[in-house]
Structure 1
Amino acid sequence: MAFFLGVDGGGTNCRAAIADGDGVVLGRGEAGSANIMTDPEKSRVNILAAADAALRAAGLDASFGDLDAVLGLAGANVPAAARRMERDLPFASSRLESDVVIAVKGALGAEDGIVALLGTGSVFAAQEEGIVRTVGGWGFRLSDLGGGARLGQAVLEAALLAHDGLRPRSALLDALVIEAKGPEGLIIFAHSASPADYAALVPRIFGAAAMGDGAAIEVIAKARDDIAAAIDLLSVEGDPPICFVGGVGRLFAEQLARRYAARIREPKGTALDGALAMARGLV
C-alpha cells in the first residue's frame, strides 16, 4: 500500500500528516519551526520529528523510506536551499515547494482563483491552470502589505507622529504612547520588535476601529486598499474567486465583502491538505 506525507513548515512550527492512497489521514504530528533558509539543520530535525510523530500516530509498520512526500516549507522558494534540503531527506521521494504554493493548493484545489494569505505577514497568489503566481511576501520591512506586522508598525508610527503634532491624536494613539512611557519607549520597542510583536496589536486596532477611533480606521483603510490593489493586479482575466486565508485574512474578508461579494469563497482546505493532495498527484 502507498503512503503519502504532507508537511507544512513555517517560521513557527512544522505540521505533518500521513494519508493512504484514498486520502484518508492516518496520523498527524507536529514539531518546531522549519524555515530552511534561516536554519536548514534545525528545519531538517523538526521535519523528521513531525514526520516521525505522524508515523507513530498512524501506527503503521512503515518507515520514512515508504513515504512519498511533498513538503511546503518557508524558504523553499530559494532554489539552492530547496535542493540542499531535498538531498538530505530520507523519504522515498521528496518534493519541496514554498509554503505559499501548498496554501494555494489547499485553498483552491485544482481550480483557478486568487488566495490572499494574511497573517503576521502577507502574500497574494493567483492560480491559473495549475500555475501559481505570487505578489509580495518579501518580509514586513519592505513588503507584506496588509499583514499584521505592517498594521502594528503603522499604528505605532501614527502614535509617534501624533505625539509630535504631525497628525491628529486619537484615544488609541494616546494610549500607546502612555503605555510605552513616552515616545522613547516606542523607539526602544521598534528596535527590538519582531514581526509577531507588531502583529499582536491587530486585535486592538480592529477593536478601536469598531469604537470609531479615527487613527485605527485610517490604518485599516490603508491596508484594505493595499490588499485590494494586489487582488486587482492578479485579476488579469475575468473575476476569479478569492479565498482569504489566515487570521488577518478573515478580518479583511469582512472588510472587502462588499467590493468582492460575488467572488469571495471559503477555502477548500488547509495548507497541509494542499501538501497531501500534491503528494497524491491530485493537484
Structure 2
Amino acid sequence: MNRMTTHTTSPVLAIDGGGTRCRLALRDRQEDAIVELGSANVTTDFDAGISELIRGLDQLAARTGLSLAALSKFPAYVGLAGVAGEAIADRAAKALPFEHILVEDDRPSALVGALGAKDGIVAHCGTGSFLAAQSDGRRRFAGGWGPVLGDPASAQWVGRRGLTMTLNAVDGICDHSALSRYFLDRFSGAAGIVAFAATARPSEFGALAPQVTAHAEDKDRLARKVMQEAGDSIADALPVLGWLPGMTICLTGGIAPHYAPYLPDTMQSCIAAPLGSPLSGALALAQAFSEEITA
C-alpha cells in the first residue's frame, strides 16, 4: 500500500480508472492509502469494470481497517475511462456503493493533476488519448472517444498503426524495416497479424507500442513514421484548443513523453513536467466535491 502525508481535514475517496490500470485512494487527515488494479473501462466492459472497482474497494477496506460500509459514507470522486455521457455516468454511480458520488470521465482528473490551477494544455496518451486545456479557470476537452472512433496517438493507436505499416511492407507499399520484421516474426507472418487484430483488445494493441517507441529510438524508419504521425496529430490539435506559443504543455500517460521530439520546436520549448498524477487530480476533485456537498 502506498502512503504519503497530506493536510486534508475530511476523508475523501478518489478513483482514477484508466484503460490499463485503475487506482483507488482514501485520503484522511494524515495520509493516503492507495491500491492499484487492472483496467476499469466501463464502456469496453461495464460489468467487468464495476467488478474491478468493487474488488479495489474491498482491498482498500482491508488495508485501511475500515469496512466497505464505512468507505461508502465518504464523498467519492470517480474518474473513469469510457464515461462518454451522463447516462453511463449515472449507471456507474448507481452500481457503486457510495452515498455521495460524482462520476465523470478520466479527463478532468488528468488535467487537474497535471496543471493544478495553472493555465496550460495536457496531451494525455495512455491506452487511450485525449487533449485538455485550462485557461482562466475554464476547461476544454477534445478526444477520449475510444479506440474505434478516436484515440489518435494513444498506445493502442501506435501498436495498431505499427501492424498496419508492417502489412503495407508485406504488400510492397513501403520497404521493410527492423520493426516490420519483428512483428512478422512475433505473429508468424501476415496471417498471424490479421488473426491477432481480429480479437485484440485496446490494451493488447497498446502492449505493442513499446516495440514501436524502442525501434524509433534506434532510428527505424517505419517506427519513426508512426511516431511522427502521432506527434503531428497532437501538434495540429493543440492550437484548436487555444494553445499559443509560451503556454505550458504537459505530456501525460505512458507513451506521451515519447512524442516530445516529434513536436515543432515552438511546442517542445513549452513542455513541462506535470505537477502531479491523474490520481492526485482525482483526489483534489474529490475534496472539492466534498466541500460542495457540505457547504
| TM-score for both structures, normalised by structure 2 | 0.83
Task: Say which SS state the counterpart of residue 16 (structure 2) adopts.
Answer: strand
* C-alpha deviation, 1:169, in angstroms: 2.5
Residue 227 in 1 paired to residue 237 in 2?
Answer: no
Instruction: Deviation per CA, 1:207-230: give whole Å up to 9, x if none.
Output: 222333222222211111112112
Conserved? CA contact 1:68–1:94, under 8 Å:
yes
Residue 124 in 1 paired to residue 131 in 2?
Answer: yes
Residue 2 in 1 paired to residue 26 in 2?
Answer: no
Aligned to 1:46: 52
Aligned to 1:213: 220
Instruction: Deviation per CA, 1:150-187: give whole Å up to 9, x if none.
Output: 22222222222222222222232234334433322222
More off after superposition, 34-43 vs 144-153: 34-43
Conserved? CA contact 1:28–1:55, under 8 Å:
no
Task: Say which SS state the counterpart of residue 267 (structure 2) adopts.
Answer: coil
- Measure, in 2, the Cα distance between the counterparts of 1:55 and 1:90: 13
- Measure, in 1, the Cα distance between the counterparts of 2:46 and 2:221: 44
Aligned to 1:17: 25
Conserved? CA contact 1:121–1:140, under 8 Å:
yes
Aligned to 1:97: 104
Structure 2's unaligned 5+ residue stretches are 1-8
Aligned to 2:116: 109
Aligned to 1:71: 78
Instruction: Deviation per CA, 1:132-153: give whole Å up to 9, x if none.
Output: 3222222233321111222222
* C-alpha deviation, 1:242, in angstroms: 1.0
- Measure, in 2, the Cα distance between the counterparts of 1:178 and 1:48: 40
- Measure, in 1, the Cα distance between the counterparts of 2:31 and 2:60: 10
Task: Say which SS state the counterpart of residue 125 (structure 1) adopts.
Answer: strand
Aligned to 1:281: 288
* C-alpha deviation, 1:65, in angstroms: 4.5
Structure 1 residues 228-247: aligned runs within 5 Å: 228-236=235-243, 239-247=246-254
More off after superposition, 222-231 vs 57-66: 57-66
State the one-letter code of the partner of 2:16: D
Distance 1:77 1:131, change over 3 A: farther
Residue 199 in 1 paired to residue 206 in 2?
Answer: yes
- Measure, in 2, the Cα distance between the counterparts of 1:83 and 1:193: 29
Task: Say which SS state the counterpart of residue 174 (structure 2) adopts.
Answer: coil
* C-alpha deviation, 1:273, in angstroms: 0.9
Distance 1:275 1:256, change over 3 A: same
More off after superposition, 208-217 vs 175-184: 175-184
Conserved? CA contact 1:116–1:244, under 8 Å:
yes
Conserved? CA contact 1:26–1:57, under 8 Å:
no
Conserved? CA contact 1:125–1:134, under 8 Å:
yes
- Measure, in 1, the Cα distance between the counterparts of 2:280 and 2:80: 14
Conserved? CA contact 1:9–1:74, under 8 Å:
yes
Conserved? CA contact 2:14–2:26, under 8 Å:
yes
* C-alpha deviation, 1:71, in angstroms: 0.9
* C-alpha deviation, 1:192, in angstroms: 2.0
Structure 1 residues 99-178: aligned runs within 5 Å: 99-178=106-185
Aligned length: 281
Distance 1:201 1:86, change over 3 A: closer
* C-alpha deviation, 1:81, in angstroms: 1.4
| TM-score for both structures, normalised by structure 1 | 0.86
Task: Say which SS state the counterpart of residue 66 (structure 1) adopts.
Answer: coil
Distance 1:155 1:29, change over 3 A: closer
State the one-letter code of the partner of 1:166: I
* C-alpha deviation, 1:123, in angstroms: 1.0
Task: Say which SS state the counterpart of residue 117 (structure 1) adopts.
Answer: strand
- Measure, in 2, the Cα distance between the counterparts of 1:65 and 1:147: 34
